[in-house]
Each structure stands twice: as structure tokens, then as C-alpha cells.
Chain A
Amino acid sequence: MDYKIEEGGAIIKVRISGVLTFDDHERFKSVVKAINESDSATAEIDLGETKMIDSAGIGMLLLANDRAKKAGKEVRLTGANGHVLKVIQLSKVDEIIPVES
């Protein structure tokens, strides 16, 4: 996976592209860190360009959400489509992390 971070005001936006899997564990830590260290109260994880996600990838989103909550922030997922959207619908992750289309 690759990611781009856009910081501006109330929202920090993280765009994840490619596939989000077990192998991205280390790299995703910097996403978690960036969200927690930003001044924004809301983090938007944009999955519009994320092609596939595996169970470890879902785990990373859960981790980011948990860490952000503990830092008093909100996380939401946006743009999910295709395989990623199916995984989210199947696993009902939206009961834990808000999902916007």
C-alpha cells in the first residue's frame, strides 16, 4: 500500500492506495502515528483507491480507530468500493468505525 496525508484544519485525511494487507503492518504504524500526532479532531481514512483488504488490513483500521479514540479523536472511513466495500459490509465494521460513502 501507499498513503498520502493531507492535513488542513479540523480534518486529517489519509488516502490509502493499493492493497492493505499483513505486509503493510510496519508502514501502517506511521499512519496511526500521524493521526494521533495531528491537531485535527477527526481523521478521515479514504479507501477510494484501496483495491483489496485482508483481515490484517481490517485489523489495522480497528487499531487506528482504537488509538485515535483514546486520543480523543474520531475516525471515519470513506470511499470504500469494490472488494473493500464488500469486506466492510460482510464484517459489519461500520458498527465500530463510521463508514461514509
Chain B
Amino acid sequence: MSAQPAPASAPEPVPSDDARILVVDDLRSSRMLIGSVLKSAGFSNIDYAGDGIEALERFEAHEPDIILLDIVMPRMDGFEVSHAIRNRFDSDVPILVQSGVQEAEQRVRAFDMGATDLVSKPINAGELISRLRLHIERRRLIARLKRYQKRMDEELHTAEGMQMSLMKEAPEVDAITYPRQARMETFYRPSYKLGGDLWDVFEIDEHRFGVLMVDLSGHGVSAAINAFRLHMLAERSEADAGDPGAWLARLSDELYEILPIEHFATAFYGVFDKRDLSLTFAGAGAPTPVLRRHDGSVEHLDASGLIMGCRSGGQYGNQRIALQPGDRLCLYSDALYENFDTPDGALSVDELSALIVATMEGEVREGFTTDLIQRVFGSMPESFPDDLTILMLEVIQP
């Protein structure tokens, strides 16, 4: 086995780097020295300034990727430059301050004035290059992440608009319910841009309309995608949606085909018929609907039932209640009463029901859903921990 001959002593190619570096130093000889160190390390895009004022001019003319800054300079010192860049120009460009090892107080002050890091003075070539590369890389990484985040935000925003458009606007709902002797109020807010709640109100025939409220398990993007799928399935079979139990059973079977095992949906589906003012409904594990009769009495409907999409052949029974003008029914998703941060603070059905009924007191008026949210949460929260849907159906006078 023979030893490999040593490679000919050709200099290792230096990777070139076009990061824009602004070197600020009042001594021409220092600038020259630093410039040659940078060039031999492959940096090709170097700018120079001889004092603080000139540094800010250069900065304004073309913002660098990193600044190598001396402290003691005529006209304007490095502290002021650093302070101006952070405050006046509101820039987070990395600033490396050259500082003697002994000058402890100066070093602390440099950080106070916005320095990112220190390099020793006089310049040590190896240290200078290492620190420059570190901060340039870090800046590039952050820029990449910011670009990525911006793109994701834009995409989520677009998707959010698409999802919101699945839900009808108030005038569309009114056009369906008023001719059928009912009024509905709706509220929907995803916990984070996209959500897994879905509601719909749609015509069945001239006498009847359907009210669907679904909560897909989980939240965020995956729940939203499942909500889109379910919306498609539901829309396809709206025509024969007159039998709530059979309709949920079919939706459940279809969901079972497409959902992963750990995903499912809870649902309430009801058909209101103006001929006898009845509501025929079926539940699939939906939160308990609260009905306040026109005379003030309160009933809790049973919307329990096998969650949809967990197995094929699930059965959902129909229930039917007779309603009268002035009766008001509230449907809601579990975000209205669950509290995972403080489990003991979660509302029981009776507690929530009392709040719902109190909100329903009085004359017919708009704003039930926002009133209810304020009663439950104390005020209108900026955001909710989970997707929140509230639907209120009221039978009106003919």
C-alpha cells in the first residue's frame, strides 16, 4: 500500500460571496487591511465609509447585508451610527462593532446601542471572517424563513377566503328562511384562518329547508380540507335531504371511505317544514341544542349519535318536534363551552343553556350570536381556541 502523493500546493478555491459589507473605519490603512482580508476570504461586494456621517449616507444609498463598525471616529462615532440604524432606519442589519478587549464598558454600551456582535480590534483575520460568515448566514436564514412565512400566510389567507365562501351570507340565508316562516342568525369564526366547522342552510322544496352544522375533528389545515370534502358530499345530495337520519347515515358512509381512522365529524342536521312548523332532525354527536319556547320554557334536544366517518353502516334516528312562532333554537359548536386551558372553567350544558336562554329574552332583534359570545366569554375575544359556530333559528309569524 503506497501513500498517496501529497496534492500539489494549489490554493484551495475560495467560495465567493456577494454579501454586501459596509466597512466603517476612520483610518484609511485599517479600511485597506480589512478590505484585503475580506477579499481573500471571497467577499467581493465591499463598500467603505470613513466616518459615521458617511456611514449613514452609504447605508441610505444602499442597505448592506452587514456592517463592520469602528467606534472612535470624527464627526459621528460608532455608537451614534448604530443607534441611528436601529431607530431612525429601523433596520435589523447585523452590526459588528470593532472593540479592544480591554474596553469592557465600551463593549456593553455597543450592545445597548444596537450592536449585534463584537470583533476584536486590532483585527484578527480568522475571527473576523468567522463572525462575518456566521452573521451573514443567520441573516440569510431569517430572510428565507420570512419569505416562506409570508408565502404561507398569503396561501392561508387565500384558502381562508375560499372556506368563508362555502358559508352563505345573511341575505342568501334570509332568502331561504323568510319565505318558509323562519329567521336564522349565523356566526362562524375559525381558530386559525382555516377551520373544521361548517354550516349550511339550503332549500329542499317550497315548504322546507335544511340546516346543517358539522364539526370536523381537529382544526387547522387538515380539518379544513375535510370540511371542503364534506361540503362537496353534502351539496351533491342536497336534493334528497328530506330524511335527516338517512342523510347523515349516507354522509357518514361516504366520509368513512375518505377519512383517516382518527378523523371524524360531529353533526346536527334538521329539516324545518313550514306546513306544520315542525323540525325533524338527527344528531351525530353534536353539542346539545337549546330550544327556548315562545312561552319561556326551555328544552334540550338530543343530538347524540355515532360520530360520522368512523365506520360504515352507522344508523341515525329521526326526531321530530313541533314548533310555534316565537320559538328559538340555538345550535353551537363545542368551542362555546369547552375550556382546555382551565378544564374546571368549562361550562356545563345547564350553565350554557342558562346563558343562551338569557340572551334570547325579549323582542326579535339582530345580534343574538354576538350577544351570546359576549355573555359566555365576557367580551368578543380576538381569537378563539377552537373553531366556533353558532346558529340560531327562530320561527316567525306567518
Contacts and interface: CB of A to CB of B under 8 A. Distances in A.
Interface of A: 19, 21-22, 51-52, 54-56, 58-60, 62-63, 66, 83, 89-93, 95-96
A62 B310 contact: yes
A55 B218 contact: yes
23 contacts: A19-B343, A52-B338, A52-B346, A54-B338, A54-B340, A55-B216, A55-B218, A56-B217, A60-B262, A62-B261, A62-B262, A63-B262, A66-B262, A83-B338, A83-B343, A90-B285, A90-B286, A90-B288, A91-B285, A95-B306, A95-B314, A96-B306, A96-B311
Contact of A52 (B261, B266, B305, B343): B343
Interface in B103-139: none
A92 B304 contact: yes
B133 to A, nearest CB: 35
Contacts of B303: 90
Contacts of B264: 55, 58-59, 62
A101 B4 CA distance: 76
A83 B346 CA distance: 9
Given A91-B304, A92-B304, A95-B314, A59 B217 contact: yes
Interface residues of B, number: 28
B68 to A, nearest CB: 44
B261 A91 contact: no
Secondary structure at the A interface, as helix, strand, loop or mixed, is helix
Contacts of B218: 22, 55-56, 59
Interface in B333-347: 334, 338, 340, 343, 346
B386 A90 contact: no
Given A63-B261, A95-B314, A55 B217 contact: yes
B340 A52 contact: yes
A83 B218 CA distance: 18
